[in-house]
Structures are given as structure tokens and as C-alpha cells.
Amino acid sequence: MTGPVRIEIPTPPGPHPPATNCYAFLAGDAVDLVDPGWDDPASLAALEAGLAGLGTSVDRVRTIVATHWHVDHLPLSARVRERSAARVLLGRGDELDAAVPVDGLLADGDEVVLGDRPVRVVGAPGHTPGSLCLDLGDDGLVTGDTLLAEINPGIGLSFHVEGNPIRDYLATLERLARDFAHRTGLPGHGPDLHDLPSRCAELAAHHRARSAEVVAVLARHPDATVDEIAPQLTWTGGWESLRDVSLRSALRQTAWHRELAAS
């Protein structure tokens, strides 16, 4: 078994999934990692234990690919990098938000060696600008947080965002459903995805429904501002429950939907 082997890396308590799926790929006693996880002692201990179980260790890590820059995926790479010769690779577009050293950037169509195999990089902008998937052929598609089985991934969750992430995400979903219909999805959190096209369709429908709500509000009030539109939309948990980061994210998403409605 050369991988991908899933190692569940716990995250500190907070409003995020309780664990991140790290994927290990073995080549002899060396190992490559996708999404090492949060930079936290308990996370590092879980990674060390997982690698020991595979007959390897943190100092044998060669390559680390992060599917995106988020705090529950990339930052533990810094600890691994201190103890190994590991190169850390991230999708182009996410580097401005990365809080730890990155050695190289990946883009759609690039190839990276994981374990003993070449793996194709699939650009998947939307969740973040530089989000990427990794095509393992018959072994599946690593999806990061672009596709999750049980959670609706947020969109445009970066400080540096250009263009319209909702338009990007809808295009990503369309492409993944079309080109990777028969792959098992290996997500950043939670269980595998066994029907990529139907999950892509569900997530696209969610965002199209919100766009339709924005169109309906604008039909009644053509000059409505983002602050006026947002409370009239359907939000999971209700508009009143949104605070701080989630409130700012809701307002940004509303602005992107409004822009889509106008185009």
C-alpha cells in the first residue's frame, strides 16, 4: 500500500470541523503529504503517530501539497519543514494568504509526484482562489474543501480575492462533475464522496437558489444595497445568527451574487 492513506488530524476546538483528512503517499520509507493540518501540538502528535504506523516519520517527508491556505490544512507544514527536507507546494492564488513558508506554486495541469506516482493538479477556484484538487486516477480525486460530503463549503474565504468566486466555484463544480464523474472524492473533512456529480449538483443548486433570491429582491427593489439585500436571503441558521467573520462572509457573498445577477 503506497497510499493515499488517510490520517485524521484533530483541530483545536472552534467553529470548524473537528479533524482534517491528511493523505500520506509512501515511497519506500519516504513519504509525501497532502494537507498536514493545523499548527498545534495535538495535531503534530497525531501526524507523528500516523506516520509511525506507516513505518515512516516526519523527518522523511519529501513533498507537502496543501489543497488551500486555510489554517486547518497548510500551517502544520511549517513544523514538518523544520524537521525534514520537505518542499511545501500551494495553489497559485493562495500564496498571499499563506501564513507559513511556501516553496513552490501549483497551477491547473501541473504534475507533482506523490509517493511513487505522478499526480495531475486540477485547479478548483471558488472556496479560495488557489484551491486545487489532485487527480489520482482510479484511486480517486483529492478534493480539499472544494467538495465535502456533509458540509456546504464556504465560497471566497480568503483575504485576497479577485473576480467573482461564486462564478468560479460554479464553473469548478461543472468541470468536476463532467471530467471526474466516476472518481471517489477524497475530501478535506469527513467521509469519502461516492457520487461526485450529484454532490456537485446539490452544491450548485444551493448557490443558484441564493442567486435567484437576490434577483427576486432586486426585482422588487432595483436599487437595494448589499446591506439591504442580505437580511432578506435564506441563511443556514438564520440571518440573526451571523456574527463577525460569518457576517462579513455573508455580506461578501451577497455582493458577489448581486454582481452575478447584474451580469
Interface with Zn ion by CB under 5 A: which residues?
72, 145, 188
Name which of 36 and 229 has its Cβ closer to Zn ion: 36
CB of 72 to Zn ion, least distance (A): 4
Comparing CB distances to Zn ion, the nearer of 2 and 246 is 246
For 171, the grid coordinates are 464553473
Question: From CA 79, how far away is CA 70, in angstroms rounded?
Answer: 16
Residue closest to 61 by CA, chosen among 38, 29, 89: 29
Is the Cα dihedral 50, 56, 59, 62 positive or negative?
A: negative
DSSP character at residue 147: S
* Cα–Cα distance for residue pair 37/78, rounded to 1 Å: 10
CB of 142 to Zn ion, least distance (A): 13
Q: Which is nearer to Zn ion, 71 or 229 (CB)?
A: 71
Q: For Zn ion, give the closer residue by CB, 145 or 168.
A: 145
166 exposed, middle or buried (CB, 10 Å; 0-12, 13-18, 19+)? buried
Shortest distance in whole angstroms from residue 48 CB to Zn ion: 21
Strands (E), 38-193: 61-66, 87-91, 104-106, 111-114, 117-123, 132-135, 141-144, 185-187
Bridge partners of residue 66, in order along the sequence: 90
Closer residue to Zn ion in complex, CB, 165/188: 188
Q: Which is nearer to Zn ion, 27 or 186 (CB)?
A: 186
Q: Give least dist CB 86 to Zn ion, A.
A: 21
β-pairing verdict for 132-135 and 117-123: antiparallel
CB of 101 to Zn ion, least distance (A): 20
Report, in Å, the least distance between residue 35 CB and Zn ion.
Answer: 8
25 grid coordinates:
503517499
User: Could you tell me the smallest distance in angstroms from the CB atom of residue 151 to Zn ion?
Assistant: 9
Q: Helices marked H in 115-243 — which ranges?
A: 165-179, 196-220, 226-229
CB atoms within 10 A of CB 194: 11
Please say which residue, 4 or 188, places its beta carbon nearer to Zn ion.
Answer: 188
